[in-house]
């Protein structure tokens, strides 16, 4: 039986995953200290960076806290909502495509 060699040309393309921005929204009830705590504990920001983001949220109405893949962004939003609810604050976290 003759040996048949066949060469197959394949092309593999890996795309970067879609990134999502996690935003915190200003409200009249959540304390600035709590927002800073969230930024440091969930988003791993420094104290100085957390304070800057918190002031931006206060002035503009919302600010980006980080950019992540969908699953990580969803987890961060969930963690913020759970901590806010547990602490009695209406802090809103959302995500949007970057």
DSSP code at position 98: -
For tokens 């440091």, name the residue.
Answer: 40
Element (H, E) at 20: strand 19-25
Question: How many angstroms separate the most distant Cα atoms in the chain?
Answer: 82
Paired residues of 69 in beta bridges: 19
Cβ neighbours of residue 56 under 8 Å, at least 6 residues apart?
A: 63
Predicted local distance difference test score (pLDDT) of residue 36: 98
What's the CATH code, domain 28-89?
3.30.1390.10
- Cα 80 versus chain centre, distance: 10
Q: What is the distance between the alpha carbons of residues 29 and 75, in angstroms, rounded to a whole number?
A: 23
- In this prediction, residues 3-25 reach a mean pLDDT of 85
Which band of pLDDT confidence, cut at 50, 70 and 90, is reported for residue 1?
low
Q: What is the pLDDT of residues 21-80, one digit of tens each?
A: 999 999 999 999 999 999 999 999 999 999 999 999 999 999 999 999 999 999 999 999
Stated pTM of the model: 0.84
């Amino acid at each position: 039986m003759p040996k048949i060699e066949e060469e197959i040309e394949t092309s593999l393309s890996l795309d970067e995953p879609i990134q999502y921005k996690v935003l915190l929204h200003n409200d009249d009830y959540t304390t600035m200290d709590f927002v800073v705590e969230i930024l440091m504990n969930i988003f791993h920001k420094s104290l100085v960076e957390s304070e800057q983001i918190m002031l931006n949220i206060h002035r503009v109405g919302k600010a980006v806290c980080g950019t992540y893949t969908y699953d990580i962004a969803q987890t961060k939003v969930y963690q913020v909502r759970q901590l806010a609810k547990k602490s009695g604050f209406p802090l809103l976290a959302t995500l949007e495509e970057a």
